[in-house]
Structure 1
Amino acid sequence: MKISDVVKSKGADVVTLRPDATVSELLRVLAEHNIGAVVVSDDGEAVSGIVSERDVVRHLGRAGAEILEQPVTHIMTAEVHTCSLGDEIEELAGAMTERRIRHVPVVEDGRLTAIVTIGDVVKHRISQLQDERDHLVGYINQ
């Protein structure tokens, strides 16, 4: 199965935030969209970084509340692991586990097209296993 299969079922909406947005703005966006991470982008297409709830918590613990007025660039991950629609889901799941990341932007021809979360990967795999089980039960009952 490919990443495109996951994107087809979940949709390609991606929430982005400009690099000059503050951490406070980030928190508002995360809450508003009920998401755990945002792609940082100047134009909504190029990936400059990614910033998550975990990043906020870690930096709050180190720097205190003044981090809330800093730009998200101070806490974002700049070296972003990305994937493409043609990548295999199993390979992405392995990379996410190994790198301990939960959100991976999908990039095609240098443009941000979607985002895949570990929850999306697990949900897709469960659905796949249920389909396999149903086929086996149907075969046995014939």
Structure 2
Amino acid sequence: MRISEVIRRKGAAVVTVPPQATVADLLAVLDDRNIGAVVVSEDEGASVAGIVTERDVVRHLHARGAGVLEAAVAEVMTVHVHTCVPEDELEVLARTMTEHRIRHLPVVVDGKLEAIVSIGDIVKHRLDELQSERDSLVDYVSH
């Protein structure tokens, strides 16, 4: 199964913030959208400059104190972003996410941000597959 199937089911919408947004602004976006990560983009979502997660904010809050809320997102974001393409296999990405302890992967096509997938999206997709297989087996056995 490819990541494109997950994107087809969940949608390709991506929430972004500019690098100059404050951490307080970022937290408002995370809360409003009920999400755990935002792609940082200098061009309103066309490219990926970084990614910032709740975990990034907590680490910087611990190290720098409440003053970090007025800092620019660029100061707390992860710059070296793992990305994927729609053709990537689901199992490979799940392994990559587990090994690197990351929960969100931007999907990039020809250098352009297309979507984002989370470990939750991958788990949900796999659970749906397992339920479908189970239903098919139960139907087969009962006929």
What TM-score, normalized to structure 1? 0.98
In structure 2, C-alpha distance between the alignment counterparts of 1:29 and 1:137, rounded to whole Å: 44
Q: Does residue 115 of structure 2 align to residue 128 of structure 1?
A: no
Amino acid in structure 2 at the alignment position of 1:128: E
The 5 A counterparts of 1:60-75 are 60-75=61-76
In structure 2, C-alpha distance between the alignment counterparts of 1:61 and 1:69, rounded to whole Å: 14
Q: Does residue 40 of structure 2 align to residue 40 of structure 1?
A: yes
Q: Residue 112 of structure 1 aligns to a residue in which SS?
A: strand
Q: Does residue 80 of structure 2 align to residue 79 of structure 1?
A: yes
In structure 2, C-alpha distance between the alignment counterparts of 1:62 and 1:42, rounded to whole Å: 26
Name the structure 2 match of 1:57: 58
What TM-score, normalized to structure 2? 0.97
Name the structure 2 match of 1:139: 140
In structure 1, C-alpha distance between the alignment counterparts of 2:16 and 2:24, rounded to whole Å: 15
Name the structure 1 match of 2:10: 10
Q: Residue 6 of structure 1 aligns to a residue in which SS?
A: helix
Amino acid in structure 2 at the alignment position of 1:132: E
In structure 2, C-alpha distance between the alignment counterparts of 1:136 and 1:45, rounded to whole Å: 44
> What is the number of residues matched between the two proteins?
142
Name the structure 2 match of 1:21: 21
Identity of aligned residues (%): 61
In structure 2, list runs of 5 or more residues that go unmatched.
Answer: none
Instruction: Give the RMSD, CA atoms, in angstroms.
Output: 0.6
Q: Residue 138 of structure 1 aligns to a residue in which SS?
A: helix
Tell me which stretches of 4 or more aligned residues in structure 1 moved more than 4 Å.
none
Amino acid in structure 2 at the alignment position of 1:47: V
Amino acid in structure 1 at the alignment position of 2:76: I
Q: Residue 104 of structure 1 aligns to a residue in which SS?
A: strand
Amino acid in structure 2 at the alignment position of 1:104: L
In structure 2, C-alpha distance between the alignment counterparts of 1:45 and 1:10, rounded to whole Å: 20
Amino acid in structure 1 at the alignment position of 2:89: E
In structure 1, list runs of 5 or more residues that go unmatched.
Answer: none
Q: What is the deviation of 1:139?
A: 1.4
